[in-house]
Structure 1
Amino acid sequence: MRPYFESERVLHDGVFFAATSLYGLTFAERGDLVAYHPDARVFEVSDADGSPVGLFVFDLYTPDSKRGGAWMNPLVSQSALLEPLPVVVNNLNVAKPPAGSPTLLTLDEVTTMFHEFGHALHGLVARVQYPHFSGTNVFRDFVEFPSQVNEMWILWPSVLSNYARHYATGEPMPAALVEKLLAAEGFNQGFETSEYLAAALLDQAWHSLTFDEAAGLTSVDDVAAFEASALAAVGLDHPAVPTRYSSTYFAHTFSGGYDAGYYSYIWSEVLDADTVEWFGANGGLSREGGSRFRQRLLGVGGSKDPLEAYRDFRGRDAEVAPLLARRRLA
C-alpha cells in the first residue's frame, strides 16, 4: 500500500483536507519561521474567516537524537489570560528517504499522522480562559478521545479518494484493496480485546489493594499468585489469551503515569466509536457537524467536565454498542 501513501499527499490532501472540510481551517506553510530542527516545518493555521488560529509544527522524520514513538506537544497553550493563540507540534518517527525520493508511508504511519493531528486540533482550537484547561489538559481517560476520532477520516471515502493515489501515476487506490482494508478491521479483535482488558483489570486489581493487603505480598511467588487470582476473578485466566503485561514489567501500572487508569484507552474508544456513529448519521464530513464537535467539545478543553461536554455534543451519554460493532463483537 505504500505507493499510495506519499507523505505530502497524506498531509495536505488527507489530514489538512479533513480539517478544512470539518472546521474551515486552512494551513499555509511559513518557510520564514525557523523551527528547532531543519526538518521541522511551520504552518500558519487560519479560520474560515481568515482570522489566525495558531501555529502548527510538523516534525516527520527520525534524526539520531529523537526519542521513539509519536506524540503531540503544546509549545504554547492557548489561554485568554496569558497566550491568546497556541503553538503545537506533532512529532513522528518516519525514516527519511534519500534526497529526491518520495516519503512513502505504511498504513500504520498514516494512522499515526491522523491520530497525532487529532491531538494537535485539540490544542489548536482551544478557546479557554486559563492555560491549565487548554487543549489536551484534560483527564487521562479523555485525552485520547479526540485523536482517535480523527482516525475515522482515514478510510472515509471522500478523504481516502483525495489522498490515496499512486505517487508515480496518480491512480487512486484500487477499490478491491480498500474493501480488503475494511474487511480486515475486525481481524483478531476477540484476542486483542481480551488481552487488553486483562491488563486494564489487573491494573485495577493492584490499585484496589488496601495497605494491609499489600503488606502481605513479599515475594515473586505471591505476585504471580495475585496476578493469577485477579485474572481468574474476571474470567480472563484463559490459556489461549496469555498475560501480555506481567506485573513485574507492566510499566504503565507502577511507573508510567497510568496508575489505575490503563482502562482509559478503551474508554476513549467507547466515546470515539459512539462519535463516529454520530458523524455517520449526521452528514459525515460536514462543516455543520465539525462546528458542533469543535465548539461543544474540542474547544472547551478541560474547562468543562468531559462527560458533560460529551452529553452537550452527543445529546446523551456514550453507549458501548458502537464499539462492539466496530470490533465485530456485537
Structure 2
Amino acid sequence: MAKMNLLQAINNALDLAMAKNDKVYSFGEDTGSFGGVFRATSGLTEKYGKHRNFNTPLVEQGILGFANGLASQGSYAVAEIQFGDYIFPAFDQIVNESAKFRYRSGNEFNVGGLTIRTPYGGGIAGGHYHSQSPEAYFAHTPGLKIVMPRNPYEAKGLLLSSIFDPNPVLFMEPKRIYRASVGEVPEEEYTIPLGKADVMKEGSDITLLAWGAQVEMIEKAAEMAEKDGVSCELIDLRTILPWDIETVAKSVTKTGRLLVTQEAPLTGGFASEIAATIQDRCFLYLESPIARVCGLDTPYPLSHEKEYFVDHLKVYEAIKASMNY
C-alpha cells in the first residue's frame, strides 16, 4: 500500500496500464510535455517514449477523431480533454461516432479500447468555463459508459477497469479533490467493476446517493443527521452509465426515503433519471418524495460560487425536510 492523492492514483493506473500492454496510448493537450494542466500524466513520456504519451493540437474534436481511429484499429486510446467544459467541440465525435461505432457495424468493428479522461466540477474558483459537470449530456447516449470516482482508491481501480473495458468509457475526474483526497492505495494492479454501486454505510431511515466529489458531502451531512438520531445509508453510484438500479432500489425499499445530490444544475440532471426510476420501482415503499439537492439552473458563477456550491449543509437541510415530511 502507498499514500496517494487522486491525481497520483490516476497517474499510477496509467503507468500500470501502459506497462501491461504496449498498445495503450495516452494523449491530449500538453499531456506529453509536462503532464497536462493538472500533471496527471507526468513522467509517462520519459518512461514510455513520445510515441506512447504525447501532445495533441488544441482541438478537442480532433483529439476524439484521432482517438476513435486509433481505438478502431485495436489500440487502447486514453484521450485527455483538459477540462470537462472543453468537451463540447468533441460532442459529435463522442455521441455520433464513439457511442455508435459497434452498433452501426453489427459488431464487425468497434472503439471499445477508447477511454476519455476529463476533470469536472467546481469548488476551485474556476468560473463558468472551468466548473461544469456535463455528465448528463452523455448519459443520454446508448453505447457509452460513464464513470465518476470519489477517492484515490476508487479512481485507480475504476480507471484500470475503464481502459480495458470492451466499450468506450467517459472517465470524469473530480478536480476539486485531485490533491485534497489522499488515501491508502495498493501499488499493484487491481480493478473495480463498472456498473456496480458501493454501499459505503448501511442505515435504516434514509438513503443518500451521490457520485464523484459529492460523496464527501453526503458523508458530512450524514454525520450531522446521525447526531439527530437519523440513520443514513450511504451509496456511491460510481458509474452513472450503466447505473446500478438494483442496489439503489433495494436500499430505498428498506429505508423508504431517497436523497440524490449532484453538482450539475437541477433541470435535466442525472438525479432526475434516478428519481424517476426509483419512484417507478419503489413507489409503495416511499415515506416522502424523492429529494434532489443540485446546482442551480444558472451558469456556474465565480463571485457567488460559495452560494451555488452544493455543500453538506444543503444536503443536511434536505435530509431534515425528508424526515419531517
Question: Quick check: TM above 0.5?
Answer: no
Q: TM-score, normalised by structure 2?
A: 0.30
Higher strand share: 2
